[in-house]
Structure 1
Amino acid sequence: MKELSMDIVATRVNILMMTQYSLQSENFRQMLQEATGLSISSVDPTRKMDVASIPENSIVIIDISVSNLLEEIVKIVKESDKVVGTVLFNAEEDMSVEEVLSWKSLRGTFSARDSLPQVCQGLKAIANGDNWLPRKIINKLISYYELNINSSQDLGYLGTDLTRRELEILESLKTGGSNIEIADSLFVSEHTIKSHLYNIFKKLEVKNRTQAMAWARKHL
């Protein structure tokens, strides 16, 4: 299983691939778009890309091997409130918690070893509201969040207004279930699971799926 700040409840996201334009990068974008059925736009930060030009509800793909553009890309992504998720290409497979948290709303990572089918599967999962992070990173994040769940959250546990269905979803989330897997096990639609997760995050006052997993593992 692989591992958004908040999972996307909206039915449509804008996927931007930020990298310096080249024939190779354009061919790769087209391959991803054709294989996933997702609309993926290429954005070259060297062409005076600014925060205002990023569309609402955007997932940004960043090729971190393009080191000469990283500083500008990171600045744009961090300053935009329209970015709901970040995806890293050519990332290290064993990133530290500090590295993960330094990226805004990191939703997934892909290393140079990942095949095209693996990347396509991950991107489709991310676009549907799941996260796609290696298990090692997820476990590091869960441990981090478990240690940093503040006392107000602990004290508020008994008064948390979670429904029976929301508790069932948290139980499944605790074991690493994806949205589709949870939906199938509860005989509901994936859209219903996304809506429940949105409400769960609000009630628990957590920002992302991994924090919710950490909460569930500590309290359920």
Structure 2
Amino acid sequence: MQLSIDMDITTQTKGFSHMSDYPNVVLLSQPSLQVATLVSCLRAKLDIPVQQLREVAEIERISIDDNLLLLVDTDNLSATSQEQLKNKLKQYHGMFRLALINLSDDTTMENISTWPSIFGVFNKRDELDVVCKGIQKITEGEFWMPRRTLSSLISIYRSTKAVDLDRKPELTTREQEILRQLMTGSSNLEIADALYVSEHTIKSHLYNVFKKIKVKNRLQAVSWAKESLI
């Protein structure tokens, strides 16, 4: 986080749900001066505590829900640890937000696309103020990533989906209703209120829908819905 990102290519696309007034921000990283500075910046901007984890196994200690924003410092995680974390998070399809920080320049779009619930990406070269501002926007329900990254991710999601076009999954009427609500930017709680069911029921439906349409997060689900729902 040392060089500034070109704001002309930074997209602030409106997200698909809104966190509560008290987002749960968790940072998975090893202690360092850089991390301490980032945490101080976030606490100053968000006015909330930032919980810090050191190991992937500690993920079991946190509550994974709509209020969670998980920040993953990829520079401090081995490839094996990253895969372990992805596998742990896959069961929580669309139930939280994730942002990757300290990405190296050689990180591929294919690698980024395998992370579930991705809402933001930050390069090693990004300045601290830009990272803090981006994370703040994510807590407000927006995406934060370069336009070319967002476009590339959508292309990857669509090409992956195209392989199974001839085998369109059968969705129930309720599952289709939930997908349409998702397209409007509603949170799980807002969808639950609109359909007069519990938030837990919506999470269960989303888990089943994501499995059926073979997507990993809300962005992929909305992309699928825009092309596949009548």
- 2:63 maps to a residue whose letter is P
Is 1:33 equivalent to 2:43 in the alignment? yes
Deviation for aligned residue 1:91:
1.3
Pick the aligned partner of 1:152 from 168, 171, 177: 168
Give me the TM-score of the superposition, normalised by structure 2: 0.61
**How far apart in 1 are the matches of 2:53 and 2:69?**
12
Question: Identity of paired residues, percent?
Answer: 17
Is 1:85 equivalent to 2:101 in the alignment? no
Deviation for aligned residue 1:29:
0.9
Q: How many residues align?
A: 193
- 1:114 maps to a residue whose letter is D
Which secondary structure state, in structure 2, belongs to the residue aligned with residue 52 of structure 1?
helix
Aligned residues of 1:91 and 1:112 also touching (Cα < 8 A): yes
Aligned residues of 1:142 and 1:211 also touching (Cα < 8 A): no
Unaligned runs of 5+ in 2: 1-10, 195-201, 211-216
Aligned residues of 1:107 and 1:131 also touching (Cα < 8 A): yes
Task: Determine the structure 1 residue equivalent to 2:64.
Answer: 56
Aligned residues of 1:9 and 1:194 also touching (Cα < 8 A): no
Pick the aligned partner of 2:134 from 110, 122, 127: 122
Task: Determine the structure 2 residue equivalent to 1:66.
Answer: 76
**How far apart in 2 are the matches of 1:104 and 1:123?**
17
**How far apart in 1 are the matches of 2:189 and 2:137?**
12
Deviation for aligned residue 1:93:
5.8
Task: Determine the structure 2 residue equivalent to 1:208.
Answer: 218
- 2:168 maps to a residue whose letter is S
Aligned residues of 1:14 and 1:40 also touching (Cα < 8 A): yes
- 1:66 maps to a residue whose letter is N
Which deviates further from its counterpart, 49-58 or 121-130?
A: 49-58
